Amino acid sequence: MRINPIDGLLFLSMRLLKSIDRRQTDLKYFDPDKVKNIMVVSSTAIGDTLLATPAILAVRERYPDAKIIAHFNIKNMELFENNPHIDGIIPYYGGYKKFFKSIMEFRKHKFDLVLIFHGNEPQATPMAYLSGARVIVKLPNTSKNRFLLSNKEQVLRWEDFTHGVEARLKVAEMVGCKISDKRMVLPLTKDGESVVNEFLENNGIIGTDPIIGFQAGASTLSRMWFPDRFAELGRRLVNSYSDIKIVITGSPQEYEHCRKIANAVGKGAIVSAGKIPLKYIPALIKRFKALVTGDTGVMHIAVAVGTPVAALFAVADANKSGPYYDMEKHVIIQKERICNPCIGKKCKHQKCMENISVDEAYNTTEGIISK
C-alpha cells in the first residue's frame, strides 16, 4: 500500500506540536460550564451525518446557549442547512483540499470543544486539534491520531457499539449530554413539496398515485443490488398494481445507470437522479409508499422522514448501519458475506448480493404495500 508522504509529515508535525502543548486537555479537566463554542464534525457521507443528528440534538439540549458550528461534507451539506440545532456550517472539501483555509476558518470561532462523530482520517483529528480547541472527543478512538484526543485512555472500536447511532451518542454523553431522543433530525424545506409535486406531475404522476422508490446506486459496488433485478422487480410491481409508479433515485452521476433500469421496467417508471436538488430529496422520499434500497444515505433519509424501507443487506451489517427505529415499518433482508475477508470498496462483483432474489424483494415490498 502506497503511503502518502503528506500523511507522514502531518503525523510528525502533530507529534511535535502535542509534545510542547502544556494545556490540560484530558476529559477529567473538562468544565462544561465554560463551553461557549462547539464544533461538531461529520464530514463523510449522507447516512453518516444523518446518524449524527440525534447526538447533535443532545449537544444542543445540554448547551442551549453555545454556538454550534458543523463541519460537514460540501457534497451533501445542503441537506442539513436547515437543521435547527446548528448555527452554521464550515464545508469539508475532501482530503487536503483547502486544508489550511478550513483551519483558519475554524480558528475564527475559538472553539472550546470539538466532537468528531464521523470524519475522514488522517485529516479529521489533526484539523480539530489545529482549530485550537482544548477538548476533542472522538469515537472510535483507534486511529494513530488518538494521542490528540481528550478521550484517549479507554479505546473503543466500532464493534463495541450496537449501532452507528449509539457510537455518536456516546461521544455526546462523554461531554455531559443526556439522550432524550434517538430519532434522526431532517426537517423538510418549505418549498420542497411544491418542487417535488411539479416534477412528478411533469412526469405523469399525480398526487393520488402510489409510488415505490428504487435507490439503485450506493457508495460502493458491494452494496448495490443488480440493475436487472431492480428492473424485473419494477415490472412485477407495475403488472401487479395497475396504478403504481416507480421512481428511481440517485445522484446526478448515477443518471445513466438509473435510466437503463427505468427503460427496462417500461411504462410507469421514471428517473429522479440528477433531476431534483439534494435538499428536496427528503420531500420526494416522503411521497413514497416504500423504498427498496441497499445500505445507502437515501435509506436513512427514508427512515428519517417516516417512509418504510425494504433494505437489502449483504456486505454491510444492518444491525450496525440499517434502520434504527420504527422497526414495525421497515423490513431488512440480510444475507451473509461470501468472501472472507470481505474486500469492501475493492469489490468487482457483489457476489453476496446475488443471494437476494427478486422473489424475496417482491414479497417484501408487497408486504409493505399491503400495510
Over residues 278-306, mean pLDDT: 98
Q: Give residue 344's pLDDT.
A: 81
- The pLDDT tens digits of the residues spanning 253-268 come to 999 999 999 999 999 9
pLDDT at residue 162, rounded to an integer: 96
**pLDDT value for 270:** 98
Q: Note the pLDDT tens digit of each residue in 167-183.
A: 999 999 999 999 999 99
Long-range contacts of 26-34 (CB under 8 A, 24+ apart): 26/150, 26/153, 27/135, 27/137, 27/150, 27/151, 27/174, 27/175, 30/135, 30/150, 30/175, 32/62, 32/63, 32/175, 32/176, 34/112
Q: Which of 2-11, 126-135, 291-300 has the least mean pLDDT?
A: 2-11
> Looking at the predicted structure, is the pLDDT value of residue 302 above 90?
yes
Query: What does the alpha-carbon distance between residue 168 and residue 245 come to, in Å, rounded to a whole number?
Result: 37
Cell of 48: 453518516
Q: What angle do CA 306, 312, 318 make, to 5 degrees?
A: 75
Q: Which tens digit of pLDDT belongs to each residue from 7-40?
A: 999 999 999 999 999 999 999 999 999 999 999 9
Q: Which domains does the chain have, with CATH numbers?
A: 5-173 (3.40.50.2000), 192-370 (3.40.50.2000)
Q: Is this prediction's pTM over 0.85?
A: yes
Radius of gyration, alpha carbons of the chain: 22
Q: How many CB atoms lie within 10 A of CB 188?
A: 16
Q: Does the pLDDT at position 207 exceed 90? A: no
